[in-house]
Amino acid sequence: MNLEDYILSHIDDEPECLAKVNRKTHLKMINPRMLSGHLQGRVLSMFSKMIMPERILEIGTYTGYSALCLAEGLSVNGKLYTIECNDELEDFIKENIDNSPYSEKIQLIIGDAKKQLTEIEEVWDLIFMDADKREYKCYYDAVFPKLKSGGFMLIDNTLWDGKVLKENDDKDNQTEAVKQFNDYLSSDDRIEKIILPIRDGLTIIRKK
């Protein structure tokens, strides 16, 4: 038994509706590793339940797993908006959301996040970012003014499989983008921040 197996055997079980999404994603998707999965999913759920947000924004839906995890902590009148650029995933995502207990609380938006973010008029309690790493800074700058004071942002893949430790490689645009984004956050005095070494790195931000 490795360390992750030990952790998984000592935390809450994966809810059945999420286990179904997990299985379907591994059966039908080319890159199922993009799914948050059991451990990170329980982390997202726990953060959301601690915050009890009224409004959640997710940038990067994939198959809907992380949205369903975050929705577990929504307040009674809460709502989650999730933006996905790949329109070929729309039916798959909708089916997963419709078969969950949170279908009335989740609004799926298909389109370019950079455009969509300018059109949603909400103030966010919690934001989860898990999309194109090359656009992280752009997304961050776009949503930061709409994140309420004391609000939280969770950003996935900020350790990027350990590649952030490697020397600069101009040919690896995604790694360079993650490194530059991490440097950008480290110098931003408007926030408190910490990086957790969960899966591929999860940065937790609190807006002052």
Per-residue pLDDT reduced to its tens digit, 13-49 = 999 999 999 999 999 999 999 999 999 999 999 999 9
Give tens-digit pLDDT for 52-84. 999 999 999 999 999 999 999 999 999 999 999
Residue 168 pLDDT more than 80? no
- Measured over the CA atoms of residue 141, residue 145, residue 147 and residue 149, the dihedral's sign is positive
Percent of the chain with pLDDT over 90: 91
Both ends of the chain: CA-CA distance in Å? 41
Q: Helix, strand, or coil here: 193?
A: strand
Distance of alpha carbon 10 from alpha carbon 110, whole angstroms: 37
Query: What is residue 143's predicted lDDT score, i.e. its pLDDT?
Result: 97
Show the tokens assigned to 52: 């009890």
Q: Does pTM top 0.85 for this prediction? A: yes
Query: What is residue 167's predicted lDDT score, i.e. its pLDDT?
Result: 77
**Residue-range domains of the chain with CATH:** 3-207 (3.40.50.150)
Query: What is residue 170's predicted lDDT score, i.e. its pLDDT?
Result: 65
The pLDDT mean for the chain works out to: 95
Residue 169 pLDDT more than 90? no
Closest CA to 128 of 36, 199, 25, 21: 36
Residue 160 pLDDT more than 70? yes
Show the tokens assigned to 117: 């973010």
Beta bridge partners of 80: 56, 106
Residue 17 near residue 100, CB atoms below 8 Å: yes
